[in-house]
Structure 1
C-alpha cells in the first residue's frame, strides 16, 4: 500500500499534533489550527483517511491509521485532537500507538449510541438510523450526497446546517465559513464516499467497551447547545474514559462553533506542555 497522504498546518517543525476531522469532513478542516499552530510551535497533520481502501475496516483500519501516524512522527511525541465522529476514530486509533499519545482532546465528540438515549436529540438522527438498520441504503444515500456535492455544493451545505443551533447560526451566516466548509464537503463526498461511509458505519456499531483501554490524558470540549452531539455525551465520556482529566462546557456554543472557540485554547495548552 502507498503511504497515506496527509495535510500539514501550523509550524514546519514543531510539537506534532494529529487532527482527526469529522464525518463529513476532510483534511482541509484542520486549517482552523494553522495560525495558532504557528504561534505556539505546533505542527498539525491530518490524514486523508477517507482515501483508505474501503476493504480495510474495523480494527485493521485503526491499526493502519496508527501505523501511518507512527511512520510520519518518526518517534516524536504525539498529541491527538478529534472533532465530532473524528473523536471516535482518534479514540480507537490511540489504542494502537506503540509509544502512546501525550494528550487527547475531544471536541464536540460523538459518544457510542448504545451508551444513552441520544438519537432523538441528534441532528444526524436519520443518517445514523439508516446506517445502522440498512447499510446498503445508507451508502446509496451517501453517493446521492456526492452527486449533489458535485452539482450544487451549496445545497449540501444548506442541508447540513438546516437545524443549526447556538452560535453555529452565526457561523452559517459567515461567508468565509460557508466557503471553507463547502470545500470540505466537496472533498469529502466527491471521490471519498466509501471512506466517509466506513467511518459512519463503524460509529453506529457498539464500541463503548473499548473506552476502558483509553488511559491517555483526555480533555473534553463541548458546546452546551450542541444538537449534533448532545452535551450529555460529554458527561458520558467524562465518566467512561479512565484518562479523562478535564471537561469544558462552552455556553451558547453548538457543534462547529465549539471547534472554533476550542481551537486556540487547545493550542495554548499544547504550546505550554
Structure 2
C-alpha cells in the first residue's frame, strides 16, 4: 500500500503516500485544492522512469492528516522537515500543482539549502497581493460565500462531494466538466486520470468541509514572506487555456522574483499541462 502515517512532534498525525521509484531521489509532491496525497499517483509512472521517489503528504486536516487549527503557510517547512527526516531525505526536489504552488514557494524561501529543484505547475497566486481580477468565476463566488456565509460554503462542498461521485458523461458532473477548456476535458476523459482526480477530491473531504475550508483559507491570507526575496531558482509552468487559475497570475508573480524560468503552453489547461508535459517538467527539474 502506498499510504503511510507519521506521528509529528506536535502529537498530530501526518498522512502521506509514496509512488514512483522507492529507491529513487526523494521528490516531495504538494497536491492541489481540493485534493489529497492520492493525487501523487499521477506521477507514479514518470517517477519510476526518472528515478524519483514521489512522496506526497496530505496537508493538515486533509485525508489522513489531523487538522491544525490556526495553521499558516509559514508552518509548512517545519512539518516538511519532520517528514523529510522520517523518510530519510536530506536533499530533495519539490513540485507543486495548483494549490500546492505556495507550499513550494515557502519551502524555497525557508530551506533552499535542502532543495535540489523547485517546480510549480499552474500554481495558486498570493491573492492578497495580486487580487481577484483573474480568478475563475466559480472560485470568486466561493470566496464571497466564505466571507459572508461560511456555513453555506460547507453545504456547497458537501453537494460538490456528491456530484463528484457521479458519472462524468452524465449531469450534473457533465455540466461542470463543460466549464473546462478542450485540453482539460480531453485529459479528464481518460479514466485512469479522472479516477485519481476524483479520488483526490473525495479524500480531501473525508474529514468534512471544515478541513477543506481551512485549507482554502491559506490562499486568502497573507503568506508571511516576500516572494521577491526567494533566492533559489523556481521553475514555473502554466497553460494559457487554464480556466481554474489564469496564467497571468503566474506571469505577474514570476516578474517580481529574481530567479525563475517560465514556460507558457498556448493550448494547455489546468489539468492537461501537468499530465501531458510531466516528462519535460521532470527533465527540467533534474537538469537533463
| Residue in 1 that maps onto 2:219 | 203
Offset of residue 168 of structure 1: 0.5
Instruction: Find the aligned partners of 2:273 and 2:23 in 1 and give their Cα distance.
Output: 27
Offset of residue 88 of structure 1: 1.5
| Residue in 1 that maps onto 2:30 | 20
| Residue in 1 that maps onto 2:101 | 87
| Residue in 1 that maps onto 2:84 | 70
Structure 1 residues 67 and 271, CA, compared in 2 at 3 Å: closer, same or farther? closer
Are 2:243 and 1:220 equivalent residues in the alignment? no
TM-score (norm 1): 0.86
Instruction: Find the aligned partners of 1:243 and 1:139 in 2 and give their Cα distance.
Output: 39
Instruction: Find the aligned partners of 1:52 and 1:158 in 2 and give their Cα distance.
Output: 33
Instruction: Find the aligned partners of 2:238 and 2:252 in 1 and give their Cα distance.
Output: 12
Structure 1 residues 134 and 174, CA, compared in 2 at 3 Å: closer, same or farther? same
Are 2:45 and 1:35 equivalent residues in the alignment? yes
Gaps of 5+ in 2: 1-10
44-53 vs 217-226, greater mean Cα deviation: 44-53
- Structure 2 residue matching 1:25: 3-state secondary structure: coil
Contact 1:20 1:46 in 2 (8 A): yes
How does 1:30-179 map onto structure 2 within 5 Å? 30-49=40-59, 50=62, 51-59=65-73, 61-97=75-111, 99-116=113-130, 118-119=132-133, 121-123=135-137, 124-146=139-161, 148=162, 152=166, 158=174, 161-179=177-195
Gaps of 5+ in 1: none
Offset of residue 135 of structure 1: 4.0
Offset of residue 118 of structure 1: 4.1
Post-superposition Cα deviations, 1:48-81, rounded to whole Å, max 9, x if no partner, equal: 2222324151156424432333323535211110
167-176 vs 227-236, greater mean Cα deviation: 167-176
Contact 2:72 2:223 in 1 (8 A): no
Post-superposition Cα deviations, 1:27-65, rounded to whole Å, max 9, x if no partner, equal: 111112111111111111000222232415115642443
Instruction: Find the aligned partners of 1:134 and 1:173 in 2 and give their Cα distance.
Output: 34
Greater per-residue helix proportion: 1
How does 1:259-270 map onto structure 2 within 5 Å? 259-270=274-285
Structure 1 residues 272 and 65, CA, compared in 2 at 3 Å: closer, same or farther? same
Q: CA RMSD in A?
A: 2.8
Offset of residue 256 of structure 1: 0.5
Structure 1 residues 78 and 43, CA, compared in 2 at 3 Å: closer, same or farther? same
Instruction: Find the aligned partners of 1:72 and 1:243 in 2 and give their Cα distance.
Output: 30
Offset of residue 201 of structure 1: 0.7
